[in-house]
Amino acid sequence: MSRGLRNRNPGNIRHSGVHFKGEVTPSRDASFKEFSSMDYGYRAMFVVLDSYRRRYGRNTIRTMIERYAPPSENFTDGYVRFIARRTGIAPDEELDTRSPRDMIPVVAAMSEIENDVAPVMADIEAGWELFIRK
């Protein structure tokens, strides 16, 4: 089982000063956050991507992933291409981070690349519901 799935953190979100709903503290992982359930882990991914749009104007797959998975730590171009292929959304097409039509497929593809396994869509949809309700 991948680290992200073990931590119920399918986006492999690192420790930071931000505390998310459903986050387990302290995490048993020294580097990555841990969540109480997968839906809270997915909710955190939606929150992070929405904050990229609101705070930094990053509203495309390319600009979001350049921040989420920077080239200093990842093969960012491959990550972007993978998400674009999986979603059918062009890397530079503007996303609506409040649209499940845009964001559920993006987060599903991110989870797949982060964990090397197809995600459970019901978990992502439950995470979306938690996110949209705040």
- Domain of residue 127, residue span: 3-133
Contacts of 16 (CB under 8 A, 6+ apart): none
> How many domains does the structure of the chain reveal?
1
pLDDT class of 130 with cuts at 50, 70, 90:
very high
Give the global pTM.
0.96
In which region does residue 120 sit, left (phi positive, over 0), alpha (psi from -120 to 50) or beta (all else)?
beta
The pLDDT of residue 134 is above 90? no
Q: How far is residue 3's CA from residue 52's CA, in Å, rounded to a whole number?
A: 24
Q: How many CB atoms lie within 10 A of CB 112?
A: 16
Average the pLDDT over 111-123 and give the result: 97
- Whether the Cβ atoms of residue 108 and residue 119 lie closer than 8 Å to each other: yes
